[in-house]
Amino acid sequence: MNLKIGVIVSVGPYTHQAADTAYHFVKAALRKGYDVPRVFFYHDGVAVSNRLQVPPQDERNVQRNWTALAQDAGIDLVVCVAAAQRRGVLDAKEAARLGKDSDTLAEGFRISGLGQMIEMAIQCDRIVTFGD
């Protein structure tokens, strides 16, 4: 039975190295054969999931890296709904419900509540937090 690791990212992609470090940690854990079923983006970490980010071409694209990793490895990327709304990160359903003209959630991410973080903590053997 593989060790299950849950990951929490709680800082933004360009204000701190934590979101990038979490990405590399998850890649390394997967290479070692560990199971990483879910990454939960919380507080300012929800900014990682904003599809409207346009970093310079010669810099890392944290959102694109997470999207690709989730697609390749089947990782559930969950964004905290309350933190996301405060920061303008909305999926199509929430944007319509709130009367906004556009969604901003990047492909590969989904918005949900703190229950997903609690479920991850219950189901995983270890929780690793990157950020505050």
Q: Where are the domains of the chain?
A: 5-130
Residue 55 confidence class, pLDDT cut points 50, 70, 90:
confident
Catalytic residue at 80?
Answer: yes
The answer to whether the pTM exceeds 0.85 is yes
Residue 1 confidence class, pLDDT cut points 50, 70, 90:
low
Mean pLDDT value of segment 66-82? 97
Mean pLDDT value of segment 12-20? 90
pLDDT at 60 over 90: no
Q: What's the fold here for domain 5-130?
A: Hypothetical Protein Ychn; Chain: A, (3.40.1260)
pLDDT at 18 over 90: yes
Mean pLDDT value of segment 89-98? 94
What are the distances in angstroms from CA 66 to CA 24, 76, 100, 101, 108? 10, 10, 25, 25, 8
* Predicted pLDDT at 2: 87
- Percent pLDDT > 70 in the chain is 99
Of residues 80, 81, 89, 120, which has the active-site annotation?
80
